[in-house]
Amino acid sequence: AAGVIQSPRHLIKEKRETATLKCYPIPRHDTVYWYQQGPGQDPQFLISFYEKMQSDKGSIPDRFSAQQFSDYHSELNMSSLELGDSALYFCASSSGSVYGYTFGSGTRLTVV
Amino acid sequence: DAKTTQPTSMDCAEGRAANLPCNHSTISGNEYVYWYRQIHSQGPQYIIHGLKNNETNEMASLIITEDRKSSTLILPHATLRDTAVYYCIVRLRGAGNQFYFGTGTSLTVIP
């Protein structure tokens, strides 16, 4: 079965650079969620999109932005990167059913 | 969403049942209980969910107390591959209702 695809798997950036993470949801899933997980921490909700519109916002820094495109894939744009942005970034998708949602394998971002 | 309380860590012998408790005393009537697990740095994996009744699937069983203020996830025959952090989450059903992860229980299955 198709899963949530995230790219790239690993990314190394320098401070003050920008990064773009991509997420391709499971086909026919209309909702995408982004999470950030720092070293030794639990996943923290950043932002979600439903039918290409932002549906909720969590602890997403102002330096970050995201959008969902017409094909339902989503991109998380991160600017002015800081060392503290080093983390695993997970994307998840759902169809709004009671079964919750499916996570991707994540992108590991390292800021040096 | 209601907050949940879980033990920080637990050990379980391989082949034995692992019983992971969760308290959610402020759960509302239309909130579901979900369990996810995260195996070292992988994406969280859905295990099971329930509203009122006990549930069972190929991975686990979920026992929810009658007052719904607590639940227990049961892995009937734990294997080394079940070593992971297990998250108990309560949330409303439906799109846009994101999961808020708490601290979770770090389960170690011992050979």
pLDDT digits (tens, 9 = 90+) for B29-61: 888 999 999 998 899 999 999 999 899 999 999
- Average pLDDT over all residues of chain B: 92
A31 contacts A95 by C-beta, under 8 angstroms: yes
Q: Does B86 touch chain A (CB under 8 A)?
A: no
Residue B46: Cβ-neighbour burial (10 angstroms; 0-12, 13-18, 19+) = middle
A88 contacts A108 by C-beta, under 8 angstroms: yes
Size of interface A-B (CB pairs under 8 A): 62
pLDDT digits (tens, 9 = 90+) for A66-81: 999 999 999 999 999 9
Q: Which of A88, A95, A98 sits opposite B32 (nearest CB)?
A: A98
Q: Does B35 touch chain A (CB under 8 A)?
A: no
User: How would residue B99 be classed by pLDDT, with cut points 50, 70 and 90?
Assistant: confident
> Pick from A82, A47, A7, A100: which is nearest to B95 by CA?
A100
User: How would residue B103 be classed by pLDDT, with cut points 50, 70 and 90?
Assistant: confident
